[in-house]
Amino acid sequence: MNILYNISVQFYVIAIRIAALFNAKAKLWVKGRKNIFKKLETAIKGEQNIVWFHCASLGEFEQGKLIIEGYKQKHPTHKILLTFFSPSGFEIRKSYKGADWIFYLPADTKTNAKRFVEIVKPIKTIFIKYEFWFNYMAELNDKNIPFYSVSTIFRKEQSFFKNNWFAKQLENITHFFVQDKTSADLLQSIGITNHTISGDSRFDSVLATTQNPKSFPIIEQFCKNQTTIICGSTWPKDEVLLNKFIKENPQYNYIIAPHEMRHISSLKKQTKAQLFSKINTDNINSTNVLIIDSIGILSSLYQYGNIVYIGGGFGSGIHNILEAVTFGLPVIFGPNYQKFNEAKALIELGSAKSISNYTELNLAIDSFADFDQTIVTSYIKNSSGATETILESL
């Protein structure tokens, strides 16, 4: 299995390099790793007490941000190295001030893992949520460098619980801070006992956002006269339903923040919307549809809404719903939400609804006309605290 795993990593790299010829995101993935080891050596030469944090992408970064900042506060003499796997995380957070250095993670080959660890010499390593790169894990274990997996969540369908080789890879992890009892029980079932149920650090992150959200007076002006539906991280399959609803329901205001910017012009034409970058106090009320063509502000925009639709549920899975519910808003999303505990919990509480078609979208929005916000705010507050639990142990 070691051989097969390493071959699969090599094939992945080859596939990304081919995709980079015509795909912008893949091109960034390749370009960001060019001369990576030379850049690393130059940046951290002579430095000590380096703590390595790794996030797959932007969502995992937001999940681990308070852990990074809390750790730095408790250990100000330690240096923070932050790595990303995906351009979606690196390109948006490459100027983040909470880390001393920010790099892409080289592909998980044995050679890369060995060279990376030799250069960085981390005193401890923390990976956020889903990332398990087996060669890096093995190399860190061989060098007796503590490795922590935080805000981790497991499902019985994963290979770790079906195949002994995959299960054995988890033995290279010093300690797991898992989100729930189900994850702890799954680890227990394969003989791994070094785990703590700490909860999900995302709850702490979204609570921090509500305490000091960015202010957008122009958005407040847009929203103040009508019920506003915010559509966050939408994909084309979401927008098919939303476009129809917008045309048939002009009594609402709509703010749409697409997950990718490349189809904004088409979306603007279909909805007769204004772009956020083009609005001002004179034209803000000329339309009831506003498209957000700026990155990094969506989490603060939820403070101005009444109902939220979260995209991704007609694809691989829904995007972040906690950023919306932390402001006390009910959420609607597509049918693919089963991997997300918070989605299931909020459906049970009656503050979230999953829809599969246009009729269900109509019914869901109507059902949230008189929503009690205390339901979700209490849920968020009661679920917080994971960050401090993790930091105390680290």
Domains 25-208+385-393 and 214-381 share a fold: yes
Predicted TM-score (pTM) of the model is: 0.83
Q: Which pLDDT band holds residue 122 (cuts at 50, 70, 90)?
A: very high
pLDDT, tens digit, 9 for 90 and up, residues 299-356: 899 999 999 999 999 998 999 899 999 999 999 999 999 988 899 999 999 999 999 9
Structural domain spans, the chain: 25-208+385-393, 214-381
**Mean pLDDT lowest for which of 75-79, 263-267, 292-296?**
263-267
CATH topology of domain 25-208+385-393: Rossmann fold (3.40.50)
pLDDT, tens digit, 9 for 90 and up, residues 234-289: 999 999 999 999 999 999 999 999 988 777 888 888 888 888 988 888 888 888 99
| Percent of residues, the chain, with pLDDT higher than 90 | 75
Q: Which pLDDT band holds residue 357 (cuts at 50, 70, 90)?
A: very high
Q: According to the CATH classification, is domain 214-381 in 3.30.465.10?
A: no
Q: In the 3-class helix/strand/coil scheme, how is the chain assigned residue by residue?
A: CHHHHHHHHHHHHHHHHHHCCCCHHHHHHHHCCCCHHHHHHHHHCCCCCEEEEEECCHHHHHHHHHHHHHHHHHCCCCEEEEEECCHHHHHHHCCCCCCCEEEECCCCCHHHHHHHHHHHCCCEEEEECCCCCHHHHHHHHHCCCCEEEEEECCCCCCHHHCCHHHHHHHHHCCEEEECCHHHHHHHHHCCCCCEEECCCCHHHHHHHHHHCCCCCHHHHHHHCCCCEEEEEEECHHHHHHHHHHHHHCCCCEEEEEECCHHHHHHHHHHHCCEEHHHCCCCCCCCCCEEECCCCCCHHHHHHHCCEEEECCCCCCCCCCCHHHHCCCCCEEECCCCCCCHHHHHHHHHCCEEECCCHHHHHHHHHHCCCCCCHHHHHHHHHHCCHHHHHHHHC
